[in-house]
Structure 1
Amino acid sequence: MDQELRQLAGLIDAAERIVLFTGAGISTESGIPDFRSPGGIWTKQTPIDFADFMGSDEARRETWRRRFAMQTVLRQAAPNRGHRAVAELIRGGRAAAVITQNIDGLHQDSGIPDDKVIELHGNTTYAHCLDCGTRYEIEALRVDFESDRIVPHCACGGWVKMATISFGQSMPIEAMRRAEDETLRADLFIAIGSSLVVYPAAGFPELAKRNRSALVIVNLQPTGLDDVADLVLKRPIGDALGAVVGVD
């Protein structure tokens, strides 16, 4: 390992409680498109606001059309070396939790238990009723949508939506509470594959640093916290974390 990787390994070995924070960059290595980066999904189509989803049948139909158009990519995506390295840190007891901005479920697919993954922006691998909370599986909804173009709705009369947090929708209270608690308990906070520009999620690395945690950033592009981080690695996530943790 080179000097930067040895430094990261040293920080991991010395830490008593590590918290990992992941963004889109870790999943782009699995073939999942980024949303915000140049050329990303949101540069090609405007995000649909939650108020529009609730108030317009046309917006609901377009939301589901976009989701089903991504189904093949999401179904084929598998955890990469970076995900496996994160999972190994959790499995070995060196990291306490993963706080993620991602909605793809790849951390769970890599073997991390649900209770160790804190999803700030929800999960797109399933849907739920906004009124009663009933869970729905994406493939079943897709069959009905493509056959009759009817927007998914629940037997209770509520609208069914992907279990993600849309623009204009309130952040999940329990996930935010857990993320804050884990951040305040960390003595090493590793931000992985995040531009650190999406708030309130990006506030957690800042909070960790203010609380005297060491802060490591692993991201190909510069972030707004590079100047205050204890270590910045601008290199592919899978290569960096895989080498340090010892996973292929």
Structure 2
Amino acid sequence: MTRLAMDGPGGPPKDLPDVTARPWRTLADLIGDGDVVVLSGAGLSTESGIPDYRGETGRSRRATPMTYQAFTGSAAARRRYWARSHLGWRHVARAAPNAGHRAVAELQRRGLVAGIITQNVDGLHQAAGAGGVIELHGNLDRVRCLDCGRRSPRADLDERLHDANPGWHAHTETINPDGDAPLPDDRVEGFRVVGCRDCGGILKPDVVFFGENVPRRRVEECFALTGRAGTLLVLGSSLAVMSGYRFVRHAAGLSVPVAIINRGPTRGDADALVTLDAPLGTALTALVDGLAGHP
């Protein structure tokens, strides 16, 4: 395994990578061969202003996420989640794709990327123009009823929550990675939650919470895509949870080359042929520019 760090000693990332370094050439060759499957994580979206849970070390969470068990088992937990999310979701909804998302979409347009698996729930790959994205953990732009299964746009729920809570105001400077925001208890206690339009059932964002299983068919689709890959390219994920790391292990077990671009070490480094410790937007833009000879 070869590694390339794009930081100078104690200094900030360089604006441009050393594209003559051997690890960089290895990565460019792998992507240039095509049939690349991208596995993206929260680190790809931080340059769009959406924070990640673990930071560059990948070791400890910056915030405690809502669990499936807490959400389904407590009306108070649901009220707390929806109050916080009603405030924080707008931040995610306003986020725009960054250079990294645009580079992935361009590599797909050139026929070099065969598929995209994302652990993110922000929809920024699609907003950048990528197609056929497998959203491993769902998307915050949708809401699902736990009773009847109806899916509906999050914007519709946002309007209903606004109407159900006239005069409710809150402000925060901090947004958590899953789109909620810290709130004092007094702002949560008076918040009114609404149910499904059709059956009055419990509404949940159409995302996989911690403690909840990814749908089996979705997992099988990701395993199949990974198994057919020419290269598995991991972007912005520490691979700290098995939900994404299992695809790295699957690829490595089938001798599919694994390449990783991330800020800081990852759980999958030992499985990778090449890793780059680099800002995603800078690195991916340079890759696209370096592969300009491909159609």
* Structure-2-length-normalised TM-score: 0.77
RMSD, matched Cα: 2.1
Within the candidate set 111, 114, 139, 1:123 is matched to 139
Report if aligned partners of 1:103, 1:121 keep a CA contact under 8 Å in 2.
Answer: yes
Number of residue pairs aligned between Structure 1 and Structure 2: 243
Cα pair distance change 1:230/1:179, threshold 3 Å: same
CA distance in 1, matches of 2:56, 2:128: 28
CA distance in 2, matches of 1:39, 1:20: 21
Cα pair distance change 1:241/1:47, threshold 3 Å: same
Q: 1:238 and 2:281 equivalent?
A: yes
Higher relative contact order (CA 8 A, sep 6+): 2
CA distance in 2, matches of 1:165, 1:190: 23
Report if aligned partners of 1:144, 1:150 keep a CA contact under 8 Å in 2.
Answer: no
SS in 2 for 1:43: coil
The equivalent of 1:49 in structure 2 is 67
Q: 1:150 and 2:150 equivalent?
A: no
Task: Give the counterpart letter for 1:132 in structure 2.
Answer: C
Within the candidate set 148, 153, 159, 1:137 is matched to 153
Q: 1:229 and 2:272 equivalent?
A: yes
Report if aligned partners of 2:93, 2:122 keep a CA contact under 8 Å in 1.
Answer: no
Report if aligned partners of 2:245, 2:268 keep a CA contact under 8 Å in 1.
Answer: no
Displacement after TM superposition at 1:103 (Å): 0.5
1:6-155 correspondence runs (5 A):
6-15=25-34, 17-37=35-55, 42-44=61-63, 46-113=64-131, 116-146=132-162, 147-148=164-165, 149-154=191-196, 155=198
Task: Give the counterpart letter for 2:45 in structure 1.
Answer: S
Report if aligned partners of 1:220, 1:234 keep a CA contact under 8 Å in 2.
Answer: yes
Q: 1:220 and 2:263 equivalent?
A: yes
1:196-207 correspondence runs (5 A):
196-207=239-250
Displacement after TM superposition at 1:97 (Å): 0.8
SS in 1 for 2:31: helix
CA distance in 1, matches of 2:134, 2:61: 24
Cα pair distance change 1:28/1:153, threshold 3 Å: same
Within the candidate set 211, 214, 225, 1:182 is matched to 225
**Which structure would you say has the larger Rg?**
2
Task: Give the counterpart letter for 2:160 in structure 1.
Answer: D
CA distance in 1, matches of 2:96, 2:79: 28
Q: 1:159 and 2:205 equivalent?
A: no
The equivalent of 2:24 in structure 1 is 5
The equivalent of 2:169 in structure 1 is none
Task: Give the counterpart letter for 1:142 in structure 2.
Answer: D
CA distance in 2, matches of 1:121, 1:10: 30
CA distance in 2, matches of 1:89, 1:131: 41
SS in 1 for 2:281: helix
Displacement after TM superposition at 1:38 (Å): 7.5
Displacement after TM superposition at 1:220 (Å): 1.1
Report if aligned partners of 1:18, 1:190 keep a CA contact under 8 Å in 2.
Answer: yes
Instruction: Choose between structure 1 and 2: higher helix proportion.
Output: 1
Task: Give the counterpart letter for 1:189 in structure 2.
Answer: L
Displacement after TM superposition at 1:5 (Å): 3.0
| Long gaps (5+) in structure 1 | none
Report if aligned partners of 1:19, 1:97 keep a CA contact under 8 Å in 2.
Answer: yes
CA distance in 1, matches of 2:76, 2:97: 34
Report if aligned partners of 1:5, 1:240 keep a CA contact under 8 Å in 2.
Answer: no
Select between 201-210 and 29-38 the one with higher mean Cα deviation.
Answer: 29-38
| Long gaps (5+) in structure 2 | 1-18, 166-190, 291-295
Report if aligned partners of 2:86, 2:161 keep a CA contact under 8 Å in 1.
Answer: no
* Structure-1-length-normalised TM-score: 0.90
The equivalent of 2:211 in structure 1 is 168
